[in-house]
Amino acid sequence: MALPDTHIPLFAGKGFEEQASAVAAAFGFLFEGEAAEPQHLDYPFVLWLDDTGLSVRQTGRRPMGPIRCDFVAGSARHRRLYGGGKSQAVAKAVGVRERVRPCIADLTGGLGSDAFVLASLGCRVTVVERHPVIAALLADGLARAAEAARGDPALADITSRISYFIADGHEWLASLTDAERPDVIYLDPMFPERRKSAQVNKTMQVFQHLVGADADADELLPKSLAVARYRVAVKRPAGAPWLGNEKPGLVMEGKSVRYDVYPLQKIPDDLR
């Protein structure tokens, strides 16, 4: 499967033209040059690069705030410091426990929030994201985290455990050798848009506009089950059908999301 095209243009704040041009070349964006303010541009959404990093901006009157990937501050920092450690539902879903830190492939990586949590718990995580806009935001977030980590050994330790690929998950799985198979595969596919948009946070609204639902997510589950060594964990909205209509071996229910776990074999007690 080919990577999806994107027609969202990239603009740069003053002094960031050269850096933006490099980003455009790396991810296949159309670089439109410098602009004074993103909200006055004649597109519904634009990519914007300035001293705060790369972001998606809505234009027009009263736009939503910028969407960027940030592992240094905000919710990522709070979750890292106060999120509950290995007692978090996502940690239990992938099999994290005392002396067990599986190697994980997140095939629907998005902005890497769950991947960062799992890396902060000691797991090595490979993030696979196929949409160029989202992949570019993720790459920018990881780069800024690596820069900030020069003065933060704990953050440096976490970022060293995250790698990413700009690739389609189906093709990435097919490319692996037996030695490269991950212990656990994690899936969090984009769910179809809800009827009441107010129920969806702003990031998901933008992603649904740019990407739509992951229409081929059902096909990803059997391929993941054929490659993962120990289990596949799937994050789903509460009340959503099972992915691929495949009944999981274990369901971990939450208020708004649940985790469907498909065990393949027991995870060793000292897996690291």
Task: Report domain extents, the chain.
Answer: 10-58, 74-263
Q: How many Cβ atoms are within 10 Å of 242's Cβ, its own excluded?
A: 15
Alpha carbons 205 and 155: distance in angstroms, whole number: 30
pLDDT score for 44: 81
Say how many Å lie between the first and final Cα of the chain, rounded.
33
pLDDT score for 193: 53
Beta pairing class for 162-166 and 231-237: unpaired
pLDDT in tens, the chain (272 residues): 444 445 689 999 999 999 999 999 999 998 998 887 776 777 888 899 999 999 998 887 777 788 999 998 777 776 776 666 788 999 999 999 999 999 999 999 889 999 999 999 999 999 999 989 999 999 999 999 999 998 889 899 999 999 999 999 999 999 999 999 999 999 999 876 554 444 456 677 777 777 666 678 899 999 999 999 999 999 999 989 999 999 999 999 988 899 999 999 999 998 88
pLDDT score for 85: 73
Look up the CATH architecture of domain 74-263.
3-Layer(aba) Sandwich (3.40)
pLDDT score for 81: 67
pLDDT score for 192: 62
Query: Shortest CA distance to 128 belongs to which of 146, 115, 141, 140?
Result: 115
pLDDT score for 251: 97
pLDDT score for 2: 43
Query: Shortest CA distance to 106 belongs to which of 47, 165, 31, 158?
Result: 165
CB-based contacts of 65, cutoff 8 Å, min separation 6: 202
pLDDT score for 215: 73
Give percent helix, percent strand, percent coil of the chain, each to the nearest 5: 40, 20, 40
Beta pairing class for 45-50 and 53-58: antiparallel
